[in-house]
Structure 1
């Protein structure tokens, strides 16, 4: 055997081993229980996506996917656990946008760096927010509401689900774009804020269609405008902010799937493919319809680009409005 033939054989043998190793890596995952951490208390909006996705991945991959709710620090606590976990695909994160693209701009200290420590896999849900008012507020459209707020000369209050939440930052975006002087009243979650708004203790707030729709349908609150690029199918008579004259106010509450950085590319690819396959099934399509969300499953690369754009957007809002969380 010549030296040339021998070296070619070694190259082919090495290539075969590399290909086989890659195949083993894909087919070996998952080889044990996968923990999906949701960095919020049980029953929150993130669970709307997390629990069906866990069941769908179990059905397609044959391994158990366990939901572990780890609330605290605006989503930072649970997200940091995933950021520091072994990058083998057996610890994942499903969360709202806050700890990924808002918290780095408003928290003075972060226990992890979302851009460096987490790998985006795919978007799961993306729903617009709605600006709602108590029926006693003397305004039935955005123009009238802005005029009313300005007439209060800095004494007008607005509620949110808490400092650093998408609801809060969307309110800050609105305040900045419309040049309004308002007093922010942060609550510990959507539920208590909606309760006080329905009782007339605060006049307006932003919240996702998921949380606020029943209260609008029940006549307890009136919808002023939605923050999506197009009208919500659940609220076809409510204009977008763009239609109402403020196109810069576009915002979404979104929920995504993430893995620790440095998770093997083949594992990310398989996780992405299996998740998107499930998202196209009737059971998840019903969730999209009920929450007013379009299908937003995407490649890991496109979702990563989306999160970078979102992070830049909210960093600009935080800088312009001075929004911070201690």
Structure 2
């Protein structure tokens, strides 16, 4: 019983963790991914009794970070903050990767899921998702939607919706959400499928109209806005997500320890509050269940990416 309750894991002659842990984030300092990563790293440092040090490796859509962790020793001292992009979409957006998302990692625990908000310029005539679909069918090829770039979640969620609803919008990619939303506010584009943190302030100011949220539940900040399921398009439900992954071959006791401590961290009120500020929800799913979820995402987004023709190289 004492070994079960011990705060550290004995592996041979070593005790895990016995030194600082490198937490690799596939984004630059300051972004949502970085802010969330630093919060989780800080809480895990206390839970594990060793420093969890953030290492930002931005570039190539997160591939640089994923490749680094895939090649790291499977000893629990290098962890990837993997995204829907690094672990799923990039495999179909890039002609070749120097890692295999399915074979080179073991999922430890999910961290956060973020719904998209379907928003239109407030001057547009449609006031609901159904009215948007009807308008798009009556005016084929007219409506434009802005995204944060080819292959981003803000692009692919819109592609999924078009497939489900049987409509076609014109894609206008930008270099990030900020310029995309700026042009939506200015009327240069008609729609966006973007995140709450970038859209809710403008919705509350009356400058954007929220038509639906793509996640499984309504958002606390937009209680009157229906989900795509409630609006009649259940197959358009989708979220962006982030999770923790270790190199394949990492001993199961280490993976289990990371999973348990992450689950505890995600339940902390301060973490729940911070995740809400990012426009997300704690994604409390670990181990085999999280692995099954990631596998299901491959089949779904592979078809959408191939249909859209999106490429990043």
State the TM-score, normalizing by the size of structure 1: 0.88
Q: Which residue of 1 aligns with 2:103?
A: 116
Q: Which residue of 2 aligns with 1:58?
A: 45
Q: Which residue of 2 aligns with 1:233?
A: 220
Q: Which residue of 2 aligns with 1:14?
A: none
Q: Which residue of 1 aligns with 2:23?
A: 36
- Residue 93 of structure 1, CA deviation: 1.0
Task: Name the larger-Rg structure.
Answer: 1
For residue 168 of structure 2, the aligned residue among 181, 193, 202 is: 181
CA distance in 1 between counterparts of 2:32 and 2:13 reads 31
- Residue 218 of structure 1, CA deviation: 2.5
Q: Which residue of 1 aligns with 2:89?
A: 102
Q: Which residue of 2 aligns with 1:6?
A: none
- Residue 55 of structure 1, CA deviation: 0.3
Show structure 1 runs of 5+ residues with no match: 1-21
CA distance in 2 between counterparts of 1:232 and 1:273 reads 27
- Residue 144 of structure 1, CA deviation: 1.5
Residue aligned with 2:305, SS: helix
- Residue 298 of structure 1, CA deviation: 2.3
For residue 297 of structure 2, the aligned residue among 277, 298, 310 is: 310
CA distance in 2 between counterparts of 1:260 and 1:164 reads 25
Residue aligned with 2:223, SS: coil
CA distance in 2 between counterparts of 1:144 and 1:33 reads 54
CA distance in 2 between counterparts of 1:232 and 1:210 reads 12
Residue aligned with 1:114, SS: coil
CA distance in 1 between counterparts of 2:267 and 2:133 reads 41
Matched, 1:200 2:180: no
- Residue 225 of structure 1, CA deviation: 0.7
1:1-326 → structure 2 map (5 Å cutoff): 23-24=10-11, 28-326=15-313
Residue aligned with 2:116, SS: strand
CA distance in 2 between counterparts of 1:308 and 1:114 reads 10
Q: Deviations over 1:264-296 (max 9, x none)?
A: 111111111111111111211212433454442
- Larger fraction in helix: 1
**Count of residue pairs brought into register by the alignment:** 305
Show structure 2 runs of 5+ residues with no match: 1-8
**Larger deviation: 139-148 or 252-261?**
139-148
